[in-house]
Amino acid sequence: MFGLLKKFKAGFAKTVAAIGEKTGALFGRKPIDASSLETLEEALYTADFGVETTREILEEIKAAYKKDKDLRGQAAAAIGAAVLQRVLAGAEGRLDSPVVGVVDPGTPASPRPATANASNPTVIAMIGVNGSGKTTTSAKLAWRLQQEGRGVTLAACDTFRAAAVEQLKVWGQRLDLEIVASHTGADSAAVAFDAWQAAKARGRDYLIVDTAGRLHTKSNLMEELAKIRRVLQKHDPTAPQHRWLVVDGSLGSNSIEQAKVFHQSFGLTGLVVTKLDGTSRGGAIVGIYRQLKLPIYFIGLGEKAEDLQPFSVDDYAKAVFGVEE
């Protein structure tokens, strides 16, 4: 676990520095005062936590400050981290643990996304707006599962964007992944259908479906997603068992809107948050979790295959607030 926190901190190195710079006095060992509270407010807003969470953290720190005028910066940081941990409680998604508490408006909530038949591959569909990192995440996840000894097939269902299929193929060559693909302009549902058959025939554990990027406001493209699902369900009525939204961690509050709409029309089961290796704190995921209670399965901390890491609430909260172990 320590190794992971280190990795997280390395990815977040710039972030921690940024919050530290703004709140140097506050998160140091000096007692805080009214003006450092204002600095804190700014730091929280610029982390994209959103209005609600920012106010909650501020309230708690202010309350603690009222009780104890000698409140130290480190203690304030710990309060902030604690609020984040509370807000994000249950937000860690794990592939091998049952999916619970996910409200799925599309299909009746099932306690565990069991496949109809134990020998069927578990299907993970990657969904998201343009440029969020679906193709890259699909490849990295396939690699990760393969490293863990699972059999994985990738379905290149982004047949819309020019060269998206080629992009996945290059990843396939680099990381030695198995890919079922057609050509740009092909029917994405047909590719999904074929890929499922191939995965089943080869006895694979997972089928990862990379889909075309679409803004959540485009209903015709949303319809294409529904079609992929319908076609997969001809093979296995429970597929796709996982429907993950890939969210760009540097986006602001709009990612909440995106998640809401995708969730409404596709019944999401989880999130992958990418591009957290920049200076962005990815605070918007806090807002998404508040609103939709969707677990976060993985976060992207860099461009290498191994930079896709399981999400840990503790590590995230501590890294954001620079809490020392």
Partner 1 sequence: MFESLTEKLTSALRNLRGVGKLTEENMATALQEVRTALLAADVHFKVAREFVERVQTQCAGQEVIKSVTPGQQVVKIIHDELVRLLGEGTNTLSPARPLRILMAGLHGSGKTTSTAKLGKLLKKRGYRPLLVACDIHRPAAIDQLEILAKQEELDFHSDRASRDVAAIGTAALAVAQAGGNDCIIFDTAGRLQIDQDLIEEVKRLRAKVQPDEVLLVVDGALGQEAVNVAKAFHDALQLTGLILTKLDGDARGGAALSIKAITGVPIKFVGTGEKTADFDTFYPDRLASRILGMGDVVSLVEKAQENIDQKDAERLAEKMRKADFNLEDFLAQMQQVKKLGSMQSILGMMPGMSGVQLPDGADRQMARTEAIIKSMTLQERRKPDILNGNRRQRIANGAGVKIVEVNQLLKQFQQMQKMMKMMKGGGAKKMMRQMEAMKGRGGFPGM
CB 153 within 8 A of CB 195: yes
Q: Which stretch binds partner 1 (CB under 8 A): 92-100, 146-154, 155-163, 194-202?
A: 155-163
Coil, strand or helix: which one is 179? strand
Q: Is 164 in the site for partner 1 (CB under 8 A)?
A: yes
**Binding-site member from 230, 257, 293, 306 for partner 1 (CB under 8 A):** 257
C-alpha to C-alpha distance for 122 and 290, rounded to whole angstroms:
28
- In whole angstroms, what is the distance from residue 84 CA to residue 296 CA? 14
Pair 294, 288: CB distance under 8 Å: yes
Q: How far apart are CA 230 and CA 239, in angstroms?
A: 9
Tell whether residue 7 is a contact of partner 1 (CB under 8 A): no
Q: Does residue 242 interact with partner 1 by CB under 8 A?
A: no
Stretch that binds partner 1, among 46-54, 80-88, 142-150, 229-237 (CB under 8 A): 46-54
Contact between 273 and 242 under an 8 Å Cβ cutoff? The reply is: no
Confirm or reject binding of residue 167 to partner 1 (CB under 8 A).
yes
Which of 109, 114, 116, 215 contacts partner 1 by CB under 8 A? 215
Coil, strand, or helix at residue 207?
strand
Binding mask 72-91 for partner 1 (x = CB under 8 A): --------------------
Q: Tell whether residue 35 is a contact of partner 1 (CB under 8 A).
A: no
Residue from 50, 93, 113, 121 in contact with partner 1 (CB under 8 A): 50
Pairing of strands 206-211, 122-127: parallel
Distance (Å, whole) CA 277 – CA 268: 25
Q: Under the rule (CB under 8 A), what is the footprint of partner 1?
A: 14, 18, 41-42, 45-48, 50-51, 129-133, 161-171, 174, 184, 215-220, 223, 248, 250-255, 257-258, 275, 277-280, 283-284
